[in-house]
Structure 1
Amino acid sequence: MERNVSAPLPAEQRLRRLKRIAILAPAAYMLLLLLGSQLLERLLPNPWAPRLAVIALVLIGIVVFAEWIFRIIARQQATLAQQNAELQALHEAGLAIASDLDLDKLLAQVVDQARRLIGARYGLLIMREQPGMPPIVFASGLPADRECRISEITSHGLLDQVLREGRSLRIDDLERYPGQRHFPEGHPAMRTLLGVPIRSGETILGALYLADREDNAPYTPQDQLRLERFATQAALAITNARLHRRITSLAIAEERERIAREMHDSLGQVLGFVNLKARVAADLINRGQAAVAAEELEQMRTAVQEAYQEVRQAILSLRATAPGRGLVASLREYIQRLREQSGLDVRLEAGENLRFPPAVEAQVIRIVQEALTNVRKHARASAVTVRFAPDPGDGTVVTVSDDGQGFDLASVEAGRGARFGLLTMRERAESIGGTLSIESAPGRGTTVRLWIPGGAQHGTDSRPDR
């Protein structure tokens, strides 16, 4: 039958009750001894007999009371030890799912960890999608040698109660429980069931189901409470993974818009320039001015070469910002290709284990790319260093320093610096909670300094990557 879990007596209330009993019980016992001793003094002629009887009863009462108190303490210790073990298991299960931002992998982890947490043979996770879309279904523990197309089920019978009504379900005997069952071919027989909703606020994200404990015992109210707590952690992890997916989609859309804008600003202008020069060269050739036409064609060749470099740089930037590769690995590949294409001596100083959230890493990569692009285009530098260093506070400092010609920062910031992309870099830094500053002077090179919060497992490597 379906059961609801009654709330256990609060620990503070149990302690207050125990304190009252510990005070009132000895007082009542001593009162009874006092009354009993007066009665014995009247009944027994020997005055020592009542006193010895009272002493014996006091000793017996002390022993009995102490035994009772210690048994209560032992039960409390056992309960606390069990609760600590359950919390530790719940904490470990929560950590296992909290670190995964890939939604599909996370959902598979949720149902696997739920099985391990409760000790169940089978697990099922049903996630609600957008209206009109089929639900997402993940199963765990089903026999590998038997085909069971559980994802093809369009209705789940009594399981839908948890999804629709958002209340937990605990069934000791599925055969006797009323309601429809929609099992696909190859589905194993099951006897007991435990189902809990996965909520985010008032919204039901999905439901988590377990069937048949490994020890064949029925599910207990403690199992239900533990699974409900785990479902709360799962809801947070799922919400976080969905948010990460949306942020990634927005970042992709932003990157596409940036590429389109750059293509329009750079490649579009170059093609317009080439088209104009081609007309001029054709007119000069028709007028027999071949030498002048050759000069125009040379300008065309130079413009096309620059456009070719711009396209290669854009492709290189896209490769470096591919998701899932890691910050240092992406920058290392980008810098290696930049060396090959530009001849610049670029050094990367960063620890292999440097980690940030994926959205932060994507912006850091783009800022470093923009700074290096400025060096390649404008600095006339021979060497540049990219360095990640821990900040004395809770953060990381990224510097891009070159030995180039430098520039007048005041005049650039006054309006002539749009071509350097300084505003874009600052906006990217602010979007991840960081700050960006630039130090430069004519003949003294340029340093772009980015500060960003965090930076797990920093371990900056002192060995430069060449």
Structure 2
Amino acid sequence: MERNVPAPLPAEQRLRRLKRIAILAPAAYMLLLLLGSQLLERLLPSPWAIRLAVIALVLIGIVIFAEWIFRIIARQQATLAQQNAELQALHEAGLAIAADLDLDKVLAQVVDQARRLIGARYGLLVMRDQVGMPPIVFASGLPADRECQLSEITSHGLLDQVLREGRTLRIDDLYLYPGERRFPEGHVTLRMLLGVPIRSGDTILGALYLADREDDTPYSPQDQLRLERFATQAALAITNARLHRRITSLAIAEERERIAREMHDSLAQVLGYVITKASAARELLGQAGRAGDAEQHLRQLEQAARDAYADVREGILGLRTGLDPSQTLLQALQRYLERWREQSGIAVDLAVEPPGDELTGLSPIAELQLLRIVQEALTNVRKHAGATHVTVQIRKAGDAVTVTVTDNGSGFDPEAHERTGYPRFGLATMHERAEAVGGRLRIRSQPGHGTTVEVEIPLRQQALAVGGTDARLDRG
């Protein structure tokens, strides 16, 4: 049945009690000596004998009192050492389950670490899933073909109350509850069980069960308290992992939406143009004397196909270029610029101020968004600017990083572009990415004088806008 752990005596209260005993015990002993000295005067003939007897009694009292005090101190030190060891073990277990953000790995770590923390033979974690769906089960210490069996005995009766009602159970002998030990045939023998709920606020996320200790001793109230504390840490780690999974799913959905939008704005239009030109060329080929016109349409169709091919290759390059944990933003950018130069045939230079700076201080999300903005700006240069040279400059000053992409192309009128309201050249996407990490984007351009895209992002800006969450995806 459920057992409540007795509340330990507060440290201050124990100390006050010890102080009172340390004062009252010697005082009481001295009072006994005074009373006993009168008896000694009757029993002993000389004053010297009486004094020696009193001194002997005082020394005996001192030795006994000192021994008692030192035993208390030793016991307190042992208790503190044990508590420190338990806290250290609990801390290490908490670090282990918080070291990963993959939900399945976190759940497996929870049951493994709980079993090691308490010294249990078997462990089981049962997590609630969606309504109407079977629970998610993770086992530890059991053969793979027996893992599902342990979950069968937790789905009814007292054991189910842990998951259903959030009750803590500590059972010394399951055989005292015949209705509760419905073990499947061939199941491992279980006798002791400790089960605690895993809560997040008022919500029961799941239940953690431990069966039988390695040393075959019953679970103690201290074991229950430790497991309950561990369950609190586990709830936080599980909640974080679930949030990370949700953010990752949202990031995937948003990246798909972005790719679909870009395909609609570029590739779909090019393919529509190709279809139109191919149809026109086919009709002209069937008409006498129109071969020259058909050839012109075919040349235009070929150029459109080449442009689409370049767009696809550049899109693939951009998607393949992420931020690996083993490399810096500058290294990823240098690698991308080299490949972009090879594909586009446009010269590109990279300048960093101050020279040699590795651009540390940006959050992972900000780093990825900065890389994506540079990629988008270079895509615009290749498709629309007609440029022969591009300069990418990165400047770190104060509490911000500024990146400029400058080309020597045809340029355009930014004011006329804003009046059209049409997100040409991917400017709207770049603005969204900059704002997602607390930055700002500026465009400077003039017809015939090239274009400069400038983005400024604050250091360590932790923007959690959904548009920036794909940084976690690229970092794996």
The TM tier, using the shorter chain, reads 0.7 to 0.9
1:312 partnered with 2:316: no
Distance 1:20 1:368 in 2: 74
Following superposition, the deviation at residue 170 of structure 1 comes to 1.2
Q: In 2 relative to 1, CA 22–148 (structure 1 residues): closer, same or farther, beyond 3 Å? A: closer
**Map of 1:366 onto structure 2:** 372
Q: Are the aligned partners of 2:108 and 2:138 in contact in 1 as well (CA < 8 Å)?
A: yes
**Map of 2:155 onto structure 1:** 156
Q: In 2 relative to 1, CA 336–151 (structure 1 residues): closer, same or farther, beyond 3 Å? A: farther
Q: Are the aligned partners of 2:174 and 2:191 in contact in 1 as well (CA < 8 Å)?
A: yes
Following superposition, the deviation at residue 4 of structure 1 comes to 2.4
1:118-157 aligned at under 5 Å gives the runs: 118-143=118-143, 149-150=148-149, 153=152, 156-157=155-156
Q: Which runs of 5+ in 2 are unaligned?
A: 463-476
Q: Structure 1 counterpart of 2:204, which letter?
A: I
Following superposition, the deviation at residue 179 of structure 1 comes to 3.2
Helix, strand or coil for the counterpart of 1:305? helix
Following superposition, the deviation at residue 246 of structure 1 comes to 0.8
Identity of aligned residues (%): 66
Q: Structure 2 counterpart of 1:311, which letter?
A: V
Among 447, 453, 458, which residue is 2:460 paired with?
Answer: 453
Tell me the alpha carbon deviations over residues 65-123 of structure 1, each in whole angstroms, 9 at most, x when there is no partner. Answer: 22222211111111111111111111111111102111112111111111111111111
Between 170-179 and 89-98, the greater mean CA deviation after superposition: 170-179
Between 10-19 and 192-201, the greater mean CA deviation after superposition: 10-19
Q: Are the aligned partners of 1:406 and 1:446 in contact in 2 as well (CA < 8 Å)?
A: no
Distance 1:341 1:274 in 2: 22
Following superposition, the deviation at residue 342 of structure 1 comes to 2.3
Q: Which runs of 5+ in 1 are unaligned?
A: 456-466
**Map of 1:220 onto structure 2:** 220
Distance 2:9 2:25 in 1: 22
Following superposition, the deviation at residue 247 of structure 1 comes to 0.8
**Map of 1:425 onto structure 2:** 430
Helix, strand or coil for the counterpart of 2:306? helix
Q: In 2 relative to 1, CA 250–275 (structure 1 residues): closer, same or farther, beyond 3 Å? A: same
Q: CA RMSD in A?
A: 4.2
Distance 1:273 1:63 in 2: 104
Q: Are the aligned partners of 2:377 and 2:453 in contact in 1 as well (CA < 8 Å)?
A: no
Q: In 2 relative to 1, CA 448–169 (structure 1 residues): closer, same or farther, beyond 3 Å? A: same
Tell me the alpha carbon deviations over residues 3-40 of structure 1, each in whole angstroms, 9 at most, x when there is no partner. Answer: 32112112222122222222333333334444544665
1:231 partnered with 2:238: no
Q: Are the aligned partners of 1:127 and 1:136 in contact in 2 as well (CA < 8 Å)?
A: yes
Distance 2:324 2:179 in 1: 46
Q: Structure 1 counterpart of 2:73, which letter?
A: I
**Map of 1:264 onto structure 2:** 264
1:342 partnered with 2:344: yes
Tell me the alpha carbon deviations over residues 174-215 of structure 1, each in whole angstroms, 9 at most, x when there is no partner. Answer: 112243334444421112111111111111111111111111
Q: Structure 2 counterpart of 1:129, which letter?
A: D
1:211 partnered with 2:211: yes
Q: In 2 relative to 1, CA 336–153 (structure 1 residues): closer, same or farther, beyond 3 Å? A: farther
Following superposition, the deviation at residue 168 of structure 1 comes to 1.4
Distance 1:171 1:130 in 2: 30
Q: In 2 relative to 1, CA 56–226 (structure 1 residues): closer, same or farther, beyond 3 Å? A: same
Tell me the alpha carbon deviations over residues 126-167 of structure 1, each in whole angstroms, 9 at most, x when there is no partner. Answer: 1001110010011111135x5554388496234212101212
Among 423, 439, 443, which residue is 1:435 paired with?
Answer: 439
Helix, strand or coil for the counterpart of 1:175? helix
Distance 1:402 1:231 in 2: 55
Following superposition, the deviation at residue 428 of structure 1 comes to 2.7
**Map of 1:461 onto structure 2:** none
Q: Structure 2 counterpart of 1:3, which letter?
A: R
Following superposition, the deviation at residue 331 of structure 1 comes to 6.8
**Map of 2:252 onto structure 1:** 252
Distance 2:29 2:209 in 1: 53
Following superposition, the deviation at residue 250 of structure 1 comes to 1.0
Tell me the matched-pair count.
Answer: 449
Helix, strand or coil for the counterpart of 1:300? helix
Q: Are the aligned partners of 1:149 and 1:184 in contact in 2 as well (CA < 8 Å)?
A: no
Taking structure 1 as the reference length, the TM-score comes to 0.79
**Map of 1:303 onto structure 2:** 304
